[in-house]
Amino acid sequence: MQVHSTPRCAVDGAPPAAPAARAEAVHEGDDREQEQALLAALRIVVTGEPDPGPLAGWDALVAATPETDVAQLSGWAGLRRLAGYEPLYVLAVSGDEVLGGAVVLRRKVAGMLRVGYVSYGPVVAHRLTSIRQTVLSQLLDALAGVARRHTALFVQPPAHADDVAVELMRRGFRFSQGGIAGIAPAATMRVDLTQDEQALRGNLSRRLRTWTRQWPQRGVKVRVGDERDIPLLTGLAASTAEYQGFTPFPLSYQESLYAALKPGGHVVLLIGEVSGAPVAAELMTGCGGVLKSRITGLDRTSTEAAKLNVASAMIWEAISWGKAHGFHYFDFGGLHAESVRALTTAENPGDVDQEQLDGPDRFKVKFGGQVFEYPPAVELIGSRVVRFGYDVLGRGSAGRKVLIWLRELLRGGR
């Protein structure tokens, strides 16, 4: 859908407003009055257990706000309890309406340090105009207060919310020093699904365009799975984890993830088969118009899966499924900082030597997406002693390994 703006006339000597313009002005006035009424009743609620009404309102707000993430849903907060986290909700409420908020996930590290993080928050209702900044300001005041009651709080602002980082810095935060704060990916690769199918196919690498015509003829099929396929996903993901050298999520966690997000329609599982035999799986989450890859699995022992490039078939089908179901973007779920620098500093992305990129990133760029960067992460470490030790660790290679270990500990099961 295209939106055309109407040129504004100069105030002096402007002709009388047309009926449509007068109606729009009245509508805007009504909106301002309604928002001022909401502001008059605004209160900030900080609680670990919100009442059912506000909790449902919060989930509805997150789902309806463009380019949000499931990491701010209550279902995700419940899931993170399995990894030892306790959620804390910071909500801006007016009457029965939730206007914004953030979910802080916190746990103890080393038995005594209380650390928390916010992934892609806070979120403010996108319909708000005249009072958005006031609502955000009160939320950030509360968030800063929460930070000072913890050893450290790390915040990755949501998409297009650069003002969140700036305002938190005014409240004592600082830009992330690159240690633990990388709890949520700061950059990713996205495919714009608002393009027509011909454009999406045309953006693929030449070899992948050929494969899209060959897969159906060569017995490659991708179907939508359900909870009965989670053990299959777990096994295939373990194969990928062993190949790439990371620790896979256990079956119980993946079952809980699917169960937590399925009621709101925030998860989909695709299963790839060759001649009826399952060889690949892709679990994705959906929120705010963004379909995001979360867990990938491929049978690395299958020569057929490799020969027929089934891993790429899974992504192409995910892109097609996302477009058919009204999503605006397909998100690969992260991109390494080195790849971001290489892809964004080149005058022409096509000139980048893709062989120099990390293996998973090299795979992602073949689908014609664009680099997407979130606002900078910020952190508040209240204790001078802890902050000093944290900074010292970040200066040496051995210390950075410790920080990476701590980051992975915190991110586990994200």
Closest CA to 311 of 355, 281, 278, 354: 281
Taking only the tens place, the pLDDT of each residue in 284-323 is 999 999 999 999 999 999 999 999 999 999 999 999 999 9
Specify which residues 114 forms β-bridges with.
108
Taking only the tens place, the pLDDT of each residue in 140-173 is 999 999 999 999 999 999 999 999 999 999 999 9
Query: What is the band of 347 on the pLDDT scale with cuts at 50, 70, 90?
Result: low
- Asked if 342 contacts 356 with a C-beta cutoff of 8 angstroms, the reply is yes
Residues 6+ apart with CB under 8 A from 180: 115, 152, 154, 379, 390, 403, 406, 407, 410
- Asked if 413 contacts 248 with a C-beta cutoff of 8 angstroms, the reply is no
Position 331 scores a pLDDT of 98
Interval 14-36 mean pLDDT: 61
Q: Which domains are present in the chain? A: 41-185+375-411 (3.40.630.30), 187-373 (3.40.630.30)
- Asked if 239 contacts 300 with a C-beta cutoff of 8 angstroms, the reply is yes
Position 156 scores a pLDDT of 95
Instruction: Say yes or no to pLDDT of 26 above 50.
Output: no
Query: What is the band of 6 on the pLDDT scale with cuts at 50, 70, 90?
Result: very low
Instruction: Say yes or no to pLDDT of 7 above 60.
Output: no
Position 13 scores a pLDDT of 37
Token readout for 53 is 């009404």
Instruction: Say yes or no to pLDDT of 225 above 70.
Output: yes
Question: Which three-class secondary structure state does DSSP give residue 156?
Answer: strand
Task: Give the DSSP H/E element, type plus range, for residue 255.
Answer: helix 251-261
C-alpha Rg value of the chain to the nearest Å: 23
- Asked if 101 contacts 91 with a C-beta cutoff of 8 angstroms, the reply is yes
Secondary structure (DSSP) of 70-111: GGGSHHHHHHHGGGT-EEEEEEEEETTEEEEEEEEEEEEETT
Secondary structure (DSSP) of 117-155: EEES--EE-TT--TTHHHHHHHHHHHHHHHHHTSSEEEE
Position 414 scores a pLDDT of 43
Interval 203-220 mean pLDDT: 95
Q: Provide the residue type at 154 as one letter.
A: F
Percentage of the residues of the chain whose pLDDT score is greater than 70: 85
Instruction: Say yes or no to pLDDT of 405 above 90.
Output: no
Position 14 scores a pLDDT of 40
Interval 73-79 mean pLDDT: 97
Task: Give the DSSP H/E element, type plus range, for residue 159.
Answer: none
Taking only the tens place, the pLDDT of each residue in 85-111 is 999 999 999 999 999 999 999 998 777
Specify which residues 45 forms β-bridges with.
91
HEC letters along 323-363: HHCCCCEEECCCCCHHHHHHHHHCCCHHHCCHHHCCHHHHH
